[in-house]
Structures are given as structure tokens and as C-alpha cells.
Chain A
Amino acid sequence: MILSALLAGILILVVLGLAGAIDAVRAPGGAPRGAAGQGAWLYAAAASITGVSALLSLASLAAPPETLVLPLGLPWIGWHFRLDALSAFFLFVVDLGAASASVFAIGYGRARHGGHADEPGRVLPFYPVFLAGLGLVVLADDAFSFLFAWELMSLASWALVLVRHRDPESVRAGTVYLLMAVLSGFLLLLCFGLLAGPAGSYGFAAMRAAHPAAATVALALVLALLGTGAKAGLVPLHAWLPLAHPAAPSHVSALMSGVMTKVAVYAFLRIAFDLIGPPSAWSGLVVLAVGGLTAVLGVLYALMQHDLKRLLAYHTVENIGIIFIGIGLAMVFRAGGEGAAAALALTAALFHVFNHAVFKSLLFFGSGAVEAATGERDMECQGGLIHRMRTTSFCFLIGCAAISALPPLNGFVSEWLTFQAILLGPALPDWGPKLLIPADGALLALAAALAAACFVKAFGITFLGRPRSAAAAVAAETDRLALAPMLLLSGLCLFAGVFPGAVIDALAPVSRALVGATMPVQGLLPWHSPPGVPLGAIVPVAAARSSYDGLAILLLIGAVTTLAALGARRLASHALRRAPAWDCGFPDQSPATQYTAQSFAEPIRRTFGPLVFGVASTIRVPPPGSTAPARIEHVLHDRLWEIFYAPPAALVRRLADALNPLQFLTIRRYLAFVFAALVLLLLVLALTP
């Protein structure tokens, strides 16, 4: 019943896409093209559908699985859909992100430099279809409908990346994205082909029941990791992500970064835990290693950026790494027979999925608001926005603190849970995981600390200090409707951090379905908590002697702050005077003397640069007597691009050059080719038994 309602919602979204196309085409007749508020009705409709859908999926989290077959799609096969705990959780994440992005888009469209600029026809038709694709992937229950939805999601988002199609950078982003999306779909196709076996049973139910050989399972798992990793942004398959996510309008960036990467995580979980069956230990180790590297490299690349949206996109790579560390731990523990530890690791990963969807959407909305107010994404042109965009800056600050894993917000809880899972590593008997898990812990800690540095930079350079451009000096607060979802998501950051028990309990059915165990029941409030658990603290596993109490920490911080403020009020002078900045006696009037995004990250670039980026620095000092400025130039090499992307690209180009003459042959030659191919295929058929 709920499943049909959800599917009906998705169908309406597709129809909305068509209506959006008509609206975009019709626009010149009435209001001028790209007028403020065009398409607001479409976003409002999308927001209400996805909002209802989010509530429905939340309600069906604990419900028994529900299936539905539609007589559509390929003949004799039909479309299979299934709503179980895993799909319900991910559908909730998808729809939460989609609903808030749709509300944001209404307000964003009204802002000065915001919205879809003068290209409504390139956004309105594709946006609802993108949402429909995201939802369908999560509900699909056979390989055909899964891949169809997967490609629908990829193509719709590709069209949205190309909104600024006259900008050569957008075009490049679109091309790289399309190639990677095709690669990802292709790898998943092969993976499903392997899992379907020679009988060709493409339903997920059949795959679940089948027990393929170990080699097939291993190959399928590697294909699944590569195929979903290319979508999620695992290093080294992440290259498209920081190009494509910032190119789209901000509400779409939020969806791509906050939600679409999570759908890829869903696909990996579905294949690795559900379709393949109990994972093996070595596969968990591979996932762990890839996750750890992804986390550290993602945040290091993020630190080097000065384009706010690109920084956020790179940072998504880091968070995907953290999620995959959790998943890898769950696989290792599951294979080692440690049910409780596996449940803890998986819950940590899922908690982070939810958290990242919330705060990354929030941060992308904030960056969209900044872009709408100043017309620039470059942080070097911002500054001092905290005075002019008060609500946006406050919400952005909450998002920054949450993503930097600061208590009492939600990011800290999921990283704390991941750490508690890492600390259970020594319980495993094998040496491989025993040695790799603490190393992953060090990588995770490094990534978390660098993330804090990254977001001090992002908030400090953008919102604090003095305005670095004329536009930043006169920026105005964004639209109220754009602020509403930011406030809602900030509230969710606080809620999930303060009442982590509620989220953990909600995740219990998912964890039970995937690893066959759950974390201990936590209870929402102190008086709900089961006996033996102090106050409202969360405990990772029943036997652990560690706990974390978000609510009490919040109350403690609140009480102590009040105490400090009251104490100062009573004991200290109340006088306050505003004066020019002190700056050690030499205040400089020019805002150019402030620290910039690049100089802020300079020490970190200098330390990690030679290792990770292969930095080449040149300093040019003008000759004596010259008044020209001295210049320092850094060239950052993207080593991963040079290793993994440049050689195949060069190979394709060379092959294309070599095959170019084939375009200019006579019709007889082409017919000869066709004949030769036919003979060759028949020979192959004849020779294979």
C-alpha cells in the first residue's frame, strides 16, 4: 500500500518534468524568460510530493518488506519493486534532501544572482525527473529496473550539470561526468550479469537465493565496488565529482552531493550485503583501505580549493570515505562472526549517511545563498558576510561545526560510533584486519582533524573578516523561503546530535536485515533508557564500558556557559567600546592584507604538498631597482588524474587518430568489413563447444 503510494509519487514527478518542459518553452509569451519565481509551482509540487514520501518511508522503516510487480518494462519480466528497511531508510534520506532542496529552490530562484539564471528550460524539465530517478533506484527489485533508474538518475543530473552550457568548464565537467556515469553503469551491468548466473534470473529475489561460486562472488563484489564507487566518489574514481557538483545550480549540487552519492552507497550495501550474501573478510579489508585513503585524500584536496562549492564537493569525497570505512568494518566484523560489532559499524556508517545528507545539503544551500548574494563562488571575493547575512551565516556555522565532528552536533556522534567500532578491532583473530583497522583509525582521525581545518577556512574566509570585494560589502540576506530549509536542516543537525539514541533505534531494522544483529536499544530520553544504561547516554555494544550522552553534554555546555556569562556579568566591568582594530599597532586599511583561502591552507599545503600534490613552487623576485612585485607561484599536480585518467585518455585519442581513416572508405570496403565480421563471429561460434 505504501509502496504503491510512493511509486505514484514518483510517477507524478515524471509528469511534472514534462509539465516543466512545457512551462519553460511557453515562458516567452508571458513573463520574461528566467523571471524571478518561474517554476516555483513545480518546485512547490516536488517539495510536497517528496515531503509526503519522506514521511511515508519513515513510517515504513520498521514495517515488513512489501513487494509490487508492474507489467511494464521488458516483456515477461516486468518491473519489480520492493520496500524493505534498507530502501525505506535511503528513500527517507533521498526525500528529505529532495524536499528541502525543492523548498530552497523556490527562494533561491527569487534571489538576485541565484536560481537557474536565464536557462529555466535546462533545469525545470530535468529536476523532477532526477528526483524520480533517485527514488526509483532505491525501490527497484530487479537488475533491469535498477539499471534503468540508475541511468535515468545519471542522465537527468548530467543535463542539470550542463545548465551553463556556454561555459567551457561546465562542458568539460559534463563530459567527464557522462563518461564516469557510463563506466559506472557498465560495471554494474557486468556485476548483475555475473550475479544473475547462466540462467539469467535478473530479479533480486533470485539473486538472493542463488549461491554462486566464490570466484564469481569476488569478481561481482569488485565490480560493484568500482561501479558504485564511481558514482559515490571513491578515490581514484572521484575525479568527476568536484567538477560536476559545483557546475549545477546550488539546489541540484546539494542533491548530487548530499543525496546521489548516498544512493550509490545504497547500491553497494544492497549488492554486497543483500544480494551476494555474507561478505568475506578480504573484501572488507579492501573496502577499509579504499575508504581510509578516500577520506584523507578527499579532505586534503578540499583544503586546497578556494571555490566554495568545489571545496564542498571535494569534501563529499572525504565523507564517502568515512562511510565506506564503516561499511568495511561491518564487512570484516560480519565475516569474523562479531555480530554486535558489525551492527555497530554498520549503524555508524548509516548514521553518517543521514548526517552527511543533512549537513552537506545545508552547506550547499548556504553556498548557494552566498553566490546569489555576491554573484561569486570564489571565497577570495567574499568576507564579512556574517554582518549582512546573519541567518545564512548562523546556519552555515552550524553545518561547519557538524561536519567537523564537534560535539554536541550529529557529525560527532557518527564519528564517535565509527571509532568505537575501530576500537573493537583487536577482538578479531586474524592479523590482516588487526593491523589495518588501527591504521584506518589513524587515517580517520587525520581526516577529521583536517576537516576541522578545512571548515575553519571555509567559514572564516567567506563569512568573517573584512569584505574582499565590492559585491561582498553590499551583499543582502537571501530569500526567506531559501532560509527555511537551512534552519530545518540545522535543527536536524542538533536533534540527531542531542538525541542520537532515536536515530540509532530507527536504524535497528536496517542493521538487523543486513548483518543480522542490532546495537543495544538506546531509548530517546533519559527516562526511556533501559536499565543499566546511565541517563540518555548511547552505548556502542552492551559489554562496552564507553558511553556518550549528547543531551547531557549540551546541557552541561549550556549551564557552564551561562555560569561563565553570569560570573563575568557580576564580577567584570560592563563597559564596551568600539575602536579601530588593534593589529599590534599597525592596522592596514586594505582588506587585501587579510589572510586568504590559499594562505590559510599554506602550512598544510607545504607539509603534504610534495607527497600528495607534487607541488612545484617558483619564486620570481624582480631585479634590484625594479618596482614590479615579487611573485610566488604554486603548481599543484593532480597525481591521481595523471596516473588514472590521463593515460587512458591519451590512448583513446591515439586510437581515434589511428582509426580516423576508416571514416572515409567506399561502400564496398564497408561491406567487406561487415562480411569479415560475420565470418569471424561464425568461426568463433563454430569453434567454441
Chain B
Amino acid sequence: MIRATLIQALQMALVLLLAPGLVGLVRAVKARLMRRRGPPVIQPYRALRRLLAKEAVIADNASWLFRTAPYLILALTWAAASVVPTFSTDLAFARLGDLIVITALLGAARFLLALAGLDIGTSFGGIGASREVFFASFAEPAMLMIVVTLAILAGSTELTSIAAFMLSPAAGLRVSAALALVSLVIVALAENGRIPVDNPATHLELTMVHEAMVLEYSARHLAMIELAAALQLLLMISVIACIFFPFGLGSGVLLGLAAWLAKLGAAGVLLGIFEVSIAKMRVFRVPELIGGALMLGLLGTLLLYVSRGL
């Protein structure tokens, strides 16, 4: 019990501390591949410190929702991240919720962010909110189809049980798991607003989605939202790692920690390479991509039945 609590506390501190670094890593990789020198990996930490020190400027007609939303968004993302086994499955909160709860917590954060985007009553806030919920209405069903596939495979929707199953020899190599992996990667790209769905680096008005929603935020509020976005990226990578690459999760804390850091680093580099090698999609082509993920999820489920049935 005490050990699980300690590991839980360590994990909650680590995810928060490492998240900006992961974003910095992706940016550094992208810059290198574009033959720029780019900012150092620790730049996001500096940005957060600078934002925290600034005076907050909010619009005249901002409501209480606008001011409380950043804290709640960070908290919901953080709560979701606390349930994901990152370097150890021995978490005190592991049984608080399953993969559906994690999806729903992230959904709640997105709900608040979209409302905050609408609060000031500017057209950019509206465009961001409208597109965000539009993408989410495809990404969430895709995520749940992945959950169905995994639940049939592992007999549980809880990440610790799924990771334990994937580590066991019973897992083997499965087509359905591969389809679920592709689908989950697409969903993760969409939920984090990465290329090809959204471009986190853009400030060109009509292509913004996430950035358009948070346009009115400044200083500490913006810092909370940036941190939450970084945390969500780390969370989705950890979920993918926990389900499909659970190496090191079952063995001791130190080994698990090393494995997790290596996985995060590899994922950050891969994400950087992927983002520079692909262009952003038109908004109305995105449903085809995420709809494809949904279909892959369904296909994975059906294949599983066929393979079980034979």
C-alpha cells in the first residue's frame, strides 16, 4: 500500500515534470530535420516560467468559466495521466478507472476548453471550438472501438490488466492488435492536435484549431493550458507504450523508469520525423482519416471474432 502510494506520487510528479520536455524534444527534432538549429529542449520550461511571471490580461466580458477552466483542464488531464501505468503497474489509483474513464476525462477537459473558446464571443474562439468538437466526434468512437478490441483480447478495460496480458506469452502476435495500434496512433494524433490534423506550430488564423480556442488566454492561464496540452501528449504516448510496448512494466521500478524514458524519447523522435514528412490536411478531409481509424477498430474486432471462431 505504502509502496503503491509512493509510486503513484512519483508518477504524478514525473508526468508533470517531463511533459514540457517531451514537447521540447519533438520541436528540437523537427528543427534539426528542417536544418534549423531550433530552440533547446528545455525551451518549453522557460516559456512556462515566463508565462507564470506575467500579468494576466483577460477580455472585458470573460466570465468565471473562462478563468476557472484552465485549472480544471489541467486537473482533468493530470487525473487521467495518474491512472495510466507509465513505469510501474503498481499504482495506488490503478483501479479508479479504466480506459473508458481516461477517454472521458480527456473528453471533459476538451468540453471545458471548447466552452472557454466560446466565452469571449470572438470568431476565432468559435472556429476553434467548432472544429475541436467536430474532430472529437470521430476520434472518441474510434477510441472506444479500440477499447472494445482490447477488452476482447485481454478481458478487461483496465490498463494494468491489459498491460499484464500483453506481457504474458498469451498475447502473441495478432492482426487485430496491429490494426488497433494504427487506429490508436491516428486517434492520438487527432486528440493532441498534431499534424496532419492540426498544426501546433501554426499561428496562421484559418488553419488553427487548438490555438484558436486558446487565443484569448495569457500568462498563468495560458501556462496551465500549455502544460495540459503537453501532458496530454505524454499521456497518449504512455497509453500506446503501455498497451503495445509494455516492456519493462512488470520488472522493478528503476528498470521500468529507464524503459519508459527510452520509449518516450523514441516516440518523441518518431513524432518529429512523422510531422516533418507529412503535410497538414484540409479540415474536411480529417473525418476521412479519423473515420478510417474507426473502421480499423471495427475491423480489428471482427477479425478477432473470426480468429476466435475458427
Contacts and interface: CB of A to CB of B under 8 A. Distances in A.
Interface of A: 383-384, 386-387, 397, 401, 404-407, 412, 416, 419-420, 422-423, 426, 431, 434-435, 438-439, 441-442, 445-446, 448-450, 452-453, 455-457, 459-461, 464-466, 534-535, 537, 544-549, 552-553, 556-557, 560-561, 563-565, 568, 571-573, 575-584, 587-588, 591, 593-595, 599-604, 606-607
Interface-central residue, A442, A535, A587, by most chain B CB under 10 Å: A442
Interface stretch (B35-43, B67-75, B251-259, B261-269): B67-75
B138 interface: yes
B237 interface: no
B137 A450 contact: yes
Given A416-B101, A466-B61, A546-B158, A406 B111 contact: yes
A452 B56 contact: no
20 contacts: A386-B65, A397-B65, A407-B105, A423-B148, A435-B302, A442-B297, A445-B144, A452-B136, A452-B137, A545-B161, A549-B96, A560-B82, A573-B52, A573-B56, A575-B56, A578-B57, A578-B58, A595-B126, A599-B126, A603-B283
Interface residues of B, number: 88
Given A442-B294, A456-B111, A595-B129, A582 B216 contact: yes
B144 A441 contact: yes
B108 A401 contact: yes
Contacts of B71: 561, 564-565, 568
Interface string B111-123: 1001100111111
A629 to B, nearest CB: 17
A573 B54 contact: yes
Nearest to A420: B157
A209 to B, nearest CB: 40
Given A561-B72, A580-B59, A594-B126, A456 B118 contact: yes
Given A438-B298, A464-B63, A584-B215, A603 B131 contact: yes
Interface string B268-310: 0000000000000001100100000010011001100100110
Contact of B157 (A423, A426, A564): A423
A564 B120 CA distance: 24
A535 B75 contact: no
Contacts of B250: none
B226 interface: no
A603 B130 contact: yes
A74 to B, nearest CB: 51
Interface string B163-204: 000000000000000000000000000000000000000000
A568 B121 contact: no
B146 to A, nearest CB: 10
Contact of B107 (A420, A452, A573): A452
A680 to B, nearest CB: 57
Given A446-B141, A448-B140, A465 B121 contact: yes
Given A449-B140, A599-B130, A573 B219 contact: yes
Contacts of B120: 465, 581, 583
B121 A577 contact: no
Contacts of B74: 560, 564
B220 A573 contact: yes
B1 to A, nearest CB: 11
B95 A442 contact: no
Contacts of B122: 581-583, 587-588, 593-594
B119 A594 contact: no
A386 B215 contact: no
B235 interface: no
Given A407-B108, A426-B305, A553 B121 contact: no
Interface string B130-161: 11011011111101110110011001111001
A431 B131 CA distance: 38
Nearest to B217: A582
A460 B96 CA distance: 31
Contacts of B72: 557, 561
B239 to A, nearest CB: 16
A405 B105 CA distance: 10
Nearest to B298: A442
Q: By CB atoms of chain B within 10 A, which of A406, A587, A601 has the most?
A: A406
Given A548-B97, A581-B216, A465 B148 contact: no
B98 interface: yes
A606 to B, nearest CB: 6
A546 B125 CA distance: 38
Contacts of A553: 79, 96-97, 101, 105
B224 A564 contact: yes
A386 B121 CA distance: 12
Given A406-B111, A545-B158, A560-B79, A445 B55 contact: no
Contacts of A453: 133-134, 136-137
B298 A546 contact: no
Contacts of A576: 55-56, 58
Given A407-B101, A452-B136, A568-B52, A582 B215 contact: yes
